[in-house]
Each structure stands twice: as C-alpha cells, then as structure tokens.
Amino acid sequence: MTFLRSLASSKGDLSSITAPPFILSGTSLVEYSKFWAELPDLFVAPTMILDKEERALAVVRWFIATLKGQYTSRNEALGSEKKPLNPFLGELFLGKWETELEGTTILVSEQVSHHPPVTAYAIYNDAYGIELQGYNGQKASFSTTMLNVRQVGHAVLYIKKFDEYYYITLPTLHIEGLFYGAPYVELEQKTLIQSSSGYCASIEYSGKGYFSGKKNTFKAKLYAPDQSSLLYTISGQWSGKSTIMTEKKKSESVFYDAMEHKVVPLVVKPLEQQAEYESRRAWEKVAAAVQIMDYDTIHVEKSKIENQQRELRKKEKEEGVEWQRRYFELIEDEGPLKDVAELAGVEPDEKVWRFNREVFEHSSDSKL
Ligand code: CLR
C-alpha cells in the first residue's frame, strides 16, 4: 500500500518512486537502449532489400521483433518488471555485438538529462551501412491500479545505401499487476514508422481482450506513399507470433515468430577496463547490494553517487557553466528528420539529440 501511495504521489516523475526492495533492479535505464539491436540480423536486413516496399516491411519486422526484449525481458529474466536505476547525467553505456554474418554493431548510450531523465543513443553497423539514433524520456501518471507511461522522443533509422530515413514514434505503455506486487508492461496506442520513401506503417497495440484474448497484441498496417493504398495488414502478438495479409492477394502467411529468434547479448568491456562514468562500473556496488537485497547498502551506495552529482551541479552553477554532454548534442531539427516527421503528421521536436560520431571516435571510449 505504501508503494501504491508513493506511485500516486510521484507526479509524473518515475525516478521519484520508492519501490519495495523486491521490485528494484540493479540495471540502469541507460542500458535499455540495447534492446533496439539484440537481433542484429533483423537490424541489418533492410539494407539488403532493393525493393522499397519490401524494405519498409523489413523495417517493420525488425521493429516488432525488438518489442519482446524492450518490454518483456525483465519479466522473463527476473519474474516481474523492475524499477531500473535512475541514470546520472553523463552516465554512459557502451557495447558491441559481434556476429559472424553481420560483423560489428556498436552501441553508444548516454544520459543527456537528469531532470527530466533523457537517454540518447546511437547504434550502428558500418559493414551494412545502417544506423539508429534516438532519445527518450518518460512521463508518468497514475490511475487507480495502473501506472501509465507516455514516452517522449523518437528513434530514427538511417540506411546509407538508399539514403533513406525511418522516423519511429514510441508507444505509450502501462504497468499492470502493481497491486499484486508483480508488475508487467502492456503497450497501448500506437507507433508510426514513416519512411522518407513515403511508405508508412501504423502499429496499434492492445492487451488482453481487445483484438483477441491474448496479451501483447498488435495490428499493423503498411501503406503506400501518401497513404494511397493499404498494402499489408499484420496482426498477432509482438511477444509471440504474427501473420501478414497481403491486400492484393488476400493471402496470409507468417510474419514473425519471436520463439524462432534468439537474442544476441551485447558485449560490454570488463568492469576494470571501464571508465568510472560507465554505467555498470559506476553502479557496481549498488547492483551487488540489489542482488542480495541489502537495503542499507543500496541506500548508502546510491547516496554516494547522488551526492557526487549534487556537488558537480553545485560547482557548475558556481562557475556558470553547463555540463558538457559527452557524445550527443542538442540541435535544431532542420534536416531530413523534420521532413519525415512532417510526412508522418507528427509534430517534430524543436530540438533533437544527435550523436557526434567524430568526437566519440576520437575518445578512448570508442575502444570497445
Ligand atoms: C525505457 C526505454 C526503452 C523501453 C522501456 C521499457 C520499459 C520501461 C522503460 C522504457 C522506462 C522505465 C519503466 C520501464 C518499465 C518500468 C519502468 C517505465 C520506456 C518504471 C520506471 C518502473 C516503475 C516501478 C515499478 C512499478 C515496477 O526503450
């Protein structure tokens, strides 16, 4: 009950929630960017497809495939959704996927704002010429038994060979099962994937009982440029199986089956080789205390980090300087991104976080 009350009074800021120890996780939210590319084969697949329509479909497939990791992996690994650690400003999470066919895919994730929390990330594979950039924050509200979370920000996929962008909006979600102390995520509303080629997908989500009796369901529609015609309808469970229907032939076939794909874990440097601002190294002691549910140590170690941060902010204020983000910068959105957002009918953000690859590659952090 205390927990539910703390949720009710959290006023939109998820980091201020005091969760009971069994719901705490030793993983920082800055790590969650990795869920975008744990299936490297699907991530690079669109780069090999010459037909625009088929390519847009491959992007939708990759996107649908990422949802299981993004939204159910804590339940699967830990038994329920957990409250992640609240990243500090400048916290970094770096890693790479090395796979035989796809080669190296790199992840750079950075906490670019603490209040409100915002994480920015870049994921790229040069062998295939594909890059995903994005940033996100969350706005929470509480209603009777549910925690509702709206995501702020977006992701942009870029395919070099075709000079093609895909603007991806993020779904709204809610947390169920709070009353039973076993929280889990369900998605709602929709995601738009708008390509600069004109193709556009709209993915609608729902839980048990709306489209079907199953949880984690979705219905996606892929449209031709200018929404001139509906090409495909895909439906099923994003955490399980889905089927695709071709409008022309009215034939149905398997679109994606999550059971048939194994995630490739990200490779992160050993703790002793990490910089002190890298997530796992910075939170090492907290994470260890979370493991054994040592509440006092969790508190002591968290406070150390928080106080250090407070000191840094105080010093910056005194010196009249602002914290320098490591590898991302907030810039005016004027380029192709704005055009794609407009194509999608989405109000583009005035300023967006963009990855500065050159700065990253000249730093020691790029030695992964
Ligand atoms: C972060 C960005 C990722 C997708 C994603 C998945 C799960 C979300 C997480 C985001 C934000 C934080 C989140 C989490 C599920 C539970 C957790 C909303 C959107 C909150 C802070 C936990 C609250 C405490 C509990 C009641 C469990 O790409």
Q: Which residues contact 352 (CB under 8 A, 6 or more apart)?
A: 135, 330, 331, 333, 337
Ligand 1 centroid from CA 345, angstroms? 26
Q: What pLDDT sits at residue 14?
A: 83
Ligand 1 centroid from CA 173, angstroms? 9
30 CB near ligand 1 (under 6 Å): no
Q: Tokens 């952090």 label which residue? A: 365
Residues of the chain with pLDDT under 50: none
83 CB near ligand 1 (under 6 Å): yes
Asked if residues 49 and 26 have their Cβ atoms less than 8 Å apart, the reply is: no
| Shortest-distance atom of ligand 1 to CA 185 | 15
Which residue among 9, 154, 175 has the greatest number of ligand 1 atoms within 8 angstroms of its CB, and so is best to mutate? 175
Integer Cα distance of 158 and 134 in angstroms: 11
> Measuring CA to CA, which residue among 347, 365, 346 is closest to residue 357?
365
Ligand 1 centroid from CA 124, angstroms? 24
217 CB near ligand 1 (under 6 Å): no
Q: What is the pTM of this model?
A: 0.96
Query: Considering only CA atoms, which residue is closest to atom 8 of ligand 1?
Result: 71
Torsion, CA 207, CA 213, CA 216, CA 222, rounded to 10 = -100
Question: What is the rounded average pLDDT for all residues in the chain?
Answer: 94
Q: What pLDDT sits at residue 150?
A: 96
Ligand 1 centroid from CA 128, angstroms? 31
Query: Considering only CA atoms, which residue is closest to atom 2 of ligand 1?
Result: 32
Query: Considering only CA atoms, which residue is closest to atom 24 of ligand 1?
Result: 83
Can you list the alpha helix ranges (DSSP code H) found in the chain? 2-8, 40-44, 52-78, 279-282, 284-291, 295-319, 336-343, 357-361
183 CB near ligand 1 (under 6 Å): yes
Ligand 1 centroid from CA 368, angstroms? 27
23 CB near ligand 1 (under 6 Å): yes
Ligand 1 centroid from CA 14, angstroms? 9
Integer Cα distance of 237 and 217 in angstroms: 4
Q: What pLDDT sits at residue 65?
A: 98
Structure tokens at 76: 């699967």
325 CB near ligand 1 (under 6 Å): no
Q: What pLDDT sits at residue 343?
A: 81
Q: pLDDT tens digit string along 38-73? A: 999 999 999 999 999 999 999 999 999 999 999 999
Query: Considering only CA atoms, which residue is closest to atom 7 of ligand 1?
Result: 71
Q: Nearest 5°: phi and psi at 67?
A: -65, -35
Q: What pLDDT sits at residue 181?
A: 84
| Shortest-distance atom of ligand 1 to CA 136 | 2
